[in-house]
Structure 1
Amino acid sequence: MNTTTLLPPAARFSGAYAEQSVATVHEAAGRIGALSSAVKPIAAGMKLSGPAFPFTLKPGDNLAIHEALYEAPAGSVLVIDAYDFLEAGPFGEIIAVAAQVRGIAGLVTSGSVRDRDAIAAIGFPVFAKGLCVKGTDKLVPARLGGAVVIDGVVVNPGDWVLGDADGVVVIPAAEAESVLNQSIEREAKERAIIERIRQGARTLDVYNFGGNEVAK
């Protein structure tokens, strides 16, 4: 029995979700919440897990990020609807350091960032659609507290955000606990299947693709 299932929900989410893969959680949730394949970690090994702090960002401006940093609770993931604008890098090393100092868990954006190597060096997880060296203005204040939509996925404050090498998935807050439990169960079943395959079982038989009954 996985002892993480015995922890209080608030304590489990940050730790237990971080142990799950994006693919497992996406499947366990009924294949909902996956952002497009364009949203990728900017460097190998990056993972993030935490409640969403969503806001929009005017193309070519980054004042809203500076403001959001000091409004978001520690442990939050900044989720930015940048309107798919890729020709500017509104998030870079300085803001990444500030976010890390604030205890922010990571960043997901539908836009671009810059300073990839420097951000990777400090270990701050960033998932973005692009990289761009171009600078930005600091003119448009943040509008915080509402939902955003990225790749057709609605992201509300407090929704659970999980990212790894495969991409990003967002789970509605009301479903986060049940999806976590289903993900833990699914992972255990997949480990058992892999062990059967290592012992010589055929995937055709394991999944009943050949008409044979799947062994329980």
Structure 2
Amino acid sequence: MQHTELGVVHTGIERADPTAVAALSRFGVATVHEAMGRVGLMRPYLRPVYPAARMCGTAVTVLLQPGDNWMLHVAAEQIRDGDVVVAACTTESEDGFFGELLATSFRARGCRGLIIDGGVRDIADLETMDFPVFSRAVSAKGTVKATLGSVNVPVVCGNALVRPGDAIVADADGVVVVPRERVAEVADASAAREEREAGKRAQFRAGKLGLDVYGMRGPLAELGLRYED
């Protein structure tokens, strides 16, 4: 259940620094999640609607009412180049809130993609457009335009708190939220993590075992692991 104000559009949001977001965009969700301290992941039921979908950008948030996509149209006006729309709902709903026409409108505003804790449709068209969407469901069921929600308020999407202007990274491994004030720090930590992993990868290619690369043998022995012939 969302606990936030209804019937409001905040127009003057603070976005994460675009240079830091560009640096963050080099890294995948798993790397960012680990580098940030294993926090920020949305629930794994939010999946890409086509396999190659991926995105990185700053959040324009939307709070929807079940079966009503009115506020997605309202949100389109608030999109700036480099934004990702993150849409949550006041209660669970898997109706088809979003499709090819709204994707066309969003893209014209510079939108990098959509994360929605709800349903979408026109999947083949979205893939042809290469407009990335991560959703709870795929549903042809249409929606109405009758009830107010809000735009650019804090929302909980896939059990993760998203504030307007936070950075969003999404790929085949899931969706992660990076607080806007931490984006540069997390990008640096992600780069450092990838450098460390490159060294480990070289050792694995040379035939070394994780038991030795990670120094696991001592702790395993202390816990009583035995090898019997």
Give the SS at the match of 1:112. Answer: strand
Correspondence for 2:134: 127
Counterpart Cα distance in 2 of 1:115 and 1:71: 23
Q: Quick one: which of 149, 155, 162 aligns to 1:148?
A: 155
Q: Secondary structure at the match of 1:111?
A: strand
Name 1:206's counterpart in structure 2: 213
Q: Which moved more, 1:100-109 or 1:144-153?
A: 144-153
2:103 matched residue in structure 1: 96
- Give TM-score, length-normalised by structure 1: 0.90
Offset from partner CA, 1:35-64 (integer Å, 9 cap, x none) = 011011110111100111112111111110
Contact 2:24 2:186 in 1 (8 A): no
Provide, for residues 122-177 of structure 1, a one-character-per-residue CA deviation record: whole Å limited to 9, x for no partner.
01110001000001101224412310012332100111100000010001111111
Instruction: Give yes or no for contact 2:32–2:187 (8 Å, CA) kept in 1.
Output: yes
Q: What is the rounded CA distance, in whole Å, between the counterparts of 2:127 and 2:71 in structure 1?
A: 23
Aligned alpha-carbon RMSD (Å) = 1.5
Q: Identical aligned pairs, as a percentage?
A: 35
Structure 2 stretches of 5 or more lacking a match?
A: 1-15, 220-229
1:84 maps to 2:120: no
Which of residues 33, 53, 59 in structure 2 aligns to 1:26?
33
Query: Is the CA contact (8 Å cut-off) linking 2:46 and 2:158 kept in structure 1?
Result: no
1:13 shift after superposition: 3.0
Within the alignment, does 1:181 sit opposite 2:192 as a pair? Answer: no
Matched residue type, 2:48: P
Give the conservation status (yes or no) of the 8 Å contact 1:55–1:146: yes
Larger radius of gyration: 2
Query: Match of 1:155, as an amino acid?
Result: V
| Deviation of the 1:209 alpha carbon | 1.2
How far apart, CA to CA, are the structure 1 residues paired with 2:21 and 2:121?
27
Q: Give the aligned partner of residue 71 of structure 2.
A: 64
Which residue of 2 is the match for residue 105 of structure 1?
Answer: 112
Cα pair 2:24 2:184 within 8 Å, conserved: no
Match of 1:157 in 2: 164
Selected match of 2:176 from 161, 169, 178 = 169
